[in-house]
């Protein structure tokens, strides 16, 4: 854009004032249009990001509910299996006491493992939910106002003559 402005500025020096004014107006309108488009694109991106984050929260909630329900069913199956095994080992006179103790310990360890797994998964869901909730809050918080760049035209730096360059060196 700067190269285009430079080329236009060189051409304008040779044109009448009316043309210069028209070019200035067109340039100003183009800059305003560019700012408007940039702002609208940024607003659209922010809105899309906010909606995507809320959708992610819904998906996470769905996954947690699905996991909890599935895990509850698995727990019920495990409890029924425990009862069946305990009934079998009580009636098994051929099984030594040590064998019965091992099976009871095995059942206890499965129950503890299931409980620990449930706690770990719940904690993971809580962490990811907290993260996305913080993202939503950050997106909804008012944005700080950033000072706009100056639209004043910059003057090109003056070039040093060859004699001054030699003297400065």
Is 66 inside a domain boundary? yes
Task: List, as one string, the DSSP characters of 57-79.
Answer: HHHHHHHHHHHHHHHHHHHHHHH
Is 153 inside a domain boundary? no
Contact 133, 57 (CB under 8 A): yes
What is the pLDDT at residue 1?
A: 63
Tokens of 120: 């770990």
Longest dimension (CA), the chain: 115
- Give the domain range for residue 109: 2-141
Angle between helical axes of 2-12 and 17-91 (0-180°, round to 10):
170
Q: How far is CA 14 from the centre of its chain?
A: 53
User: Which residue reads 């730096």 in tokens?
Assistant: 157
pTM of the model: 0.59
Is 29 inside a domain boundary? yes
Estimate the share of the chain in helix, then strand, then coil, as percent rounded to the nearest 5.
80, 0, 20
* More confident: 120 or 44: 120
Is 146 inside a domain boundary? no
* Model confidence pLDDT, tens digit, residues 4-59: 667 666 665 566 778 778 888 999 999 999 999 999 988 888 888 888 988 999 99
Is 10 inside a domain boundary? yes
Is 152 inside a domain boundary? no
Is 148 inside a domain boundary? no
> In angstroms, rounded to a whole number, what is the distance separating the alpha carbons of residues 148 and 145?
9
Quick one: which H or E segment has residue 33? helix 17-91
- Counting the structural domains of the chain, the total is 1
Residue 9's Cβ-count burial label (10 Å; 0-12, 13-18, 19+) is middle
Is 157 inside a domain boundary? no
């Amino acid at each position: 854009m700067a190269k285009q402005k430079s080329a236009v500025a060189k051409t304008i020096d040779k044109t009448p004032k009316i043309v210069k004014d028209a070019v200035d107006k067109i340039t100003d309108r183009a800059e305003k249009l560019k700012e408007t488009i940039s702002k609208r694109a940024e607003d659209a991106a922010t809105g899309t990001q906010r909606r995507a984050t809320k959708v992610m929260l819904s998906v996470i909630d769905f996954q947690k509910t699905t996991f909890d329900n599935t895990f509850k069913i698995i727990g019920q199956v495990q409890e029924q299996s425990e009862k069946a095994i305990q009934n079998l080992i009580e009636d098994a006179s051929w099984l030594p006491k040590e064998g019965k103790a091992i099976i009871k310990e095995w059942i206890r360890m499965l129950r503890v493992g299931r409980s620990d797994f449930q706690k770990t998964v719940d904690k993971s869901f809580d962490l990811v939910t907290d993260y996305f909730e913080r993202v939503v809050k950050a997106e909804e918080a008012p944005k700080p106002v950033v000072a706009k760049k100056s639209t004043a035209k910059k003057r090109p730096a003056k070039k040093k003559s060859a004699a001054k360059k030699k003297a400065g060196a």
